[in-house]
Amino acid sequence: MIGSNAAEAHPVALQHILYAKEVNGAPLIVVDPRFTKLAAKATEYVRIRPGTDTAFLMGLINYIIENDWHDKEFIRTRVAGFEEMRKVAAHYTPEVVEDITGVPKEQLARVAKLLATHRPGTVIWCMGITQHHIGSSNTRACCILQLVLGNMGVSGGGTNIFRGHDNVQGATDVCVLSHSLPAYYGLKEGSWKHWCKVWGVAFEWIKSRFHSKEYMHKKGFTLARWYEGVIQEDKINQYTPIRAVVFWGCASNSQSQYHKLKKALDKLDLVVIIDPFPTTTAAMCEKDNVYLLPSTSQYETEGSVTSSSRQAQWRYKVVDPLYESKTDYEIMEEFVKRFGFADKFYKNIKKVPEDVTREIARGALTIGLCGWLPERIKKHTDNWHTFDIDTLQAKGGPCDGEYYGLPWPCWTETHPGTPILYDISKPVAKGGLPFRARFGTEFTYPDGRKENLLAAPGVANPGSEVRGGYPEFPGWKTDINVIKKAIKRGMAPFGNARARCYCWNFPDPVPVHREPLHSPRPELIQKYPTYPDKPDHYRVYTRFASEQKPELAREFPLVLITGRMVEHMGGGAETRSNKYLAELAPEMYAEINVKVANDYGIRDGEYFWIESPEGGRIKVKAKVTDRVDERTIFLPFHFGGYFMGKSLAANYPEGHVPYALGEPANIVTNYGYDIITQIQATKEGLCRIKKA
């Protein structure tokens, strides 16, 4: 488990992990800069310098290949670009890795051996891997490690990314994001046309809603950087600054450089907050521009939710909405009516939420949500006791043979769901899948080597008409009949290809280490520099190379990381308003090492200031502990209600002040965004501290 503190963030998931450790004798390897509650349960704890995960993972890959522990048959038949990857990985010898990451080479060897001798193994990660400026490289390095070990497409293998809460996966699948239409269709004209057909509206009408056609295909602002669209400290690429913002169940205090976000809040014409609680955002707005719309909790409404294992479940309503709160559906309906396109919006939707689920099923062909009909999902939820807890398959009963929650791709209305992705031991119609043929059939690498990207001959799911690799079926993304035909032939609609270790469409085709923008090791910046600046990165100029200054570490000597605590959730609006949870964790704190505390003369429980290079500063209580090392400070990010030493309690509506208030950690998190996804780099910043 790397970059994940599941013991605090996902305590229920840990049951399965501890079960694997106890019953299967699986070693639990925890890689984290901080000795977390999860590390306390580890067989092997690896303390790593924040922001060096790729170096560590490539080091593992190199060591595994060097010792001939890689799965040669799997690589021969189902992996592409292995040679190119191997050349890059060769740089990361145990000595180099030790220098970059601080992980002793003996430990690297031990971990590699544990991985090689315990197969299949799974890699689990969370924000500790993604929230870096090379977050996308980190995640890919994890996947490549699994490919090299041959741990893909088998029970107990794969990569498992724990999501924040129960429907984050669902939100991702319908792409509540700025760069894609639902189900990862992207923003191309064909994608718009496909969805227009599903929605039953004219493409021209949708087009007329945009400022110009260019903006139909232009990625929007992201959650991490939208405020630049208001304050414009970095140049934006949009015809107008942002004037209004709607927070719909979103905690703004989870975004980095929060003091700049506050500037934006105070500059906007309109801020709408739709939430069961008046959030930290509401208290942060000190201009009279805020509207609070009380929405219901999940227990007062219903609909389908998707888990991180791609399973759907129907969540029934428990109680009717309390007081004047409205469900999200009602709020949306009121908006749509007032905007005047209710006839188009509700063309296919007569009954909420069942018809919404049905519309998703009709449109989301790419990820095979076609089989997710509301009645099927309900049937699974109602009969959950008929499913086997290990295989997830129902034995007898109304869902006989199907997998619980119809894990997508669930290609057709009779498909049982795909419990394990890329598993070629089962027929496609029974939940098997090969790797997707997304990038053509052949590629020429820069060194001239040509490689067939389709799977090797003889490798296919049982019952496949083609015994070997095959390209995707033309038109499968928009036509359900193509999918049905492919399944009938025992083949996957998206083809049967190899998994790529070399992604030519990425800035780093093979993941390489790049020092964090704000690196505590300035001497490594030259050797492992970051990317050049990206002028139009989700409509905003994003600095990389120009932000990476070696001299910064002198003034800001401590590394700053953030994370979760078990008592609170996300922005904490809900949990900090619960008296029992607030009683358990009433105050914001910073974990600092005993040595740092003594050097700065800070005693346990004393207040001190943390300052970021961007000018953010927070006053927090010290928790002197060995959890963090001598260069690192850890902050939980759930708190809100203070701003740079000043209480904002008076800004909450009367009687709605949370029981626990504290400085938002993200006031001091640093500049830094991923090159591809633009996720904020909150796990690799720098800071300095002062006695209060």
* 3-class secondary structure, 596: helix
Q: Which residue has the tokens 């040509």?
A: 450
Q: Which is nearer to another protein, 14 or 100 (CB)?
A: 14
Radius of gyration of the chain (CA): 25
Q: Which is nearer to another protein, 35 or 345 (CB)?
A: 35
Q: Which of 631, 614, 633, 611 is nearest to 671 (CA)?
A: 614
Please give the structure tokens belonging to residue 500. Answer: 């790529």
The minimum distance between CB 601 and another protein, in angstroms, equals: 21
| H helix count then E strand count, the chain | 23, 23
Binder to another protein among 45, 506, 600, 609 (CB under 8 A)? 45
* 3-class secondary structure, 93: coil
List Cα–Cα distances, 116 to 87, 143, 151, 410, in angstroms: 20, 15, 10, 33
Q: Which of 510, 517, 521 is nearest to 100 (CA)?
A: 521
Binding mask 98-127 for another protein (x = CB under 8 A): ----------------x-------------
Decide the pairing of beta strands 617-624 and 589-592.
parallel
Q: Which is nearer to another protein, 27 or 529 (CB)?
A: 27
CA dihedral (54, 55, 57, 59) in degrees, to 10, reads: 160
Contact status: 44 vs another protein (CB under 8 A): yes
Cα torsion 29, 32, 34, 36: sign: negative
Residue 682 CB neighbour total at 10 angstroms: 28
* Residues between 579 and 618 with contacts to another protein, criterion CB under 8 A: 579-581, 583-584, 591
Of 33-41, 73-81, 163-171, 350-358: span binding another protein (CB under 8 A): 33-41
Quote the distance between the C-alpha of residue 60 and its chain's center: 23
DSSP state of 362: H
Binder to another protein among 35, 345, 506, 531 (CB under 8 A)? 35
Q: Which is nearer to another protein, 136 or 298 (CB)?
A: 298
Cα torsion 507, 513, 519, 521: sign: negative
Of 327-335, 355-363, 506-514, 620-628: span binding another protein (CB under 8 A): 620-628
The minimum distance between CB 146 and another protein, in angstroms, equals: 21
* Residues between 235 and 274 with contacts to another protein, criterion CB under 8 A: none
Binder to another protein among 2, 3, 4, 12 (CB under 8 A)? 12
Residue 464 CB neighbour total at 10 angstroms: 21
Q: Which is nearer to another protein, 444 or 598 (CB)?
A: 598
DSSP state of 409: P
Contact status: 485 vs another protein (CB under 8 A): no
Instruction: Give 317's contacts (C-beta < 8 A, 6+ positions apart).
Output: 299, 300, 301, 302
List Cα–Cα distances, 350 to 355, 377, 611, in angstroms: 7, 19, 53
d(CA 407, CA 421): 9
d(CA 125, CA 37): 15
Binding mask 624-643 for another protein (x = CB under 8 A): -xxx----------------
The minimum distance between CB 565 and another protein, in angstroms, equals: 10
The minimum distance between CB 40 and another protein, in angstroms, equals: 4
* Residues between 317 and 336 with contacts to another protein, criterion CB under 8 A: none
Q: Are 471 and 477 in contact (CB under 8 A)?
A: no
Q: Which is nearer to another protein, 298 or 548 (CB)?
A: 298
Q: Are 663 and 647 in contact (CB under 8 A)?
A: no
Contact status: 21 vs another protein (CB under 8 A): yes
Of 41-49, 240-248, 350-358, 544-552: span binding another protein (CB under 8 A): 41-49
Q: Which is nearer to another protein, 581 or 620 (CB)?
A: 581
Q: Which is nearer to another protein, 27 or 164 (CB)?
A: 27
The minimum distance between CB 14 and another protein, in angstroms, equals: 5
Binding mask 550-579 for another protein (x = CB under 8 A): ----------------xx-----------x
Q: Is the peptide bond before 409 cis (omega within 30 degrees of 0)?
A: yes
Binder to another protein among 15, 155, 425, 598 (CB under 8 A)? 15
Judged by CB under 8 A, the number of residues near another protein is 34
Phi, psi of 497 (to 5 degrees): -130, -170
The minimum distance between CB 631 and another protein, in angstroms, equals: 16
Phi, psi of 657 (to 5 degrees): -70, 125
The minimum distance between CB 626 and another protein, in angstroms, equals: 4
The minimum distance between CB 10 and another protein, in angstroms, equals: 9
Binder to another protein among 1, 2, 31, 38 (CB under 8 A)? 38
Range list of H helices, 562-623: 579-584, 594-600
Length of the chain: 692
Of 4-12, 87-95, 303-311, 375-383: span binding another protein (CB under 8 A): 4-12
Q: Which is nearer to another protein, 564 or 683 (CB)?
A: 564
Q: Which residue has the tokens 């600095």?
A: 543
Q: Which of 293, 286, 250, 292 is nearest to 268 (CA)?
A: 286
Q: Which is nearer to another protein, 579 or 656 (CB)?
A: 579
d(CA 673, CA 255): 11
Contact status: 501 vs another protein (CB under 8 A): no
Burial label for 44, CB within 10 Å (0-12, 13-18, 19+), is: middle
Q: Which residue has the tokens 């975004």?
A: 255
Q: Which is nearer to another protein, 323 or 580 (CB)?
A: 580
The minimum distance between CB 7 and another protein, in angstroms, equals: 4
Binder to another protein among 41, 113, 119, 219 (CB under 8 A)? 41
* Residues between 421 and 480 with contacts to another protein, criterion CB under 8 A: none
Binder to another protein among 1, 42, 181, 483 (CB under 8 A)? 42
Contact status: 43 vs another protein (CB under 8 A): yes
The minimum distance between CB 580 and another protein, in angstroms, equals: 5
Q: Which is nearer to another protein, 27 or 220 (CB)?
A: 27
Quote the distance between the C-alpha of residue 27 and its chain's center: 25
Binding residues vs another protein (CB under 8 A): 7-8, 11-12, 14-15, 18, 21-23, 25, 27, 35, 37-45, 114, 566-567, 579-581, 583-584, 591, 625-627
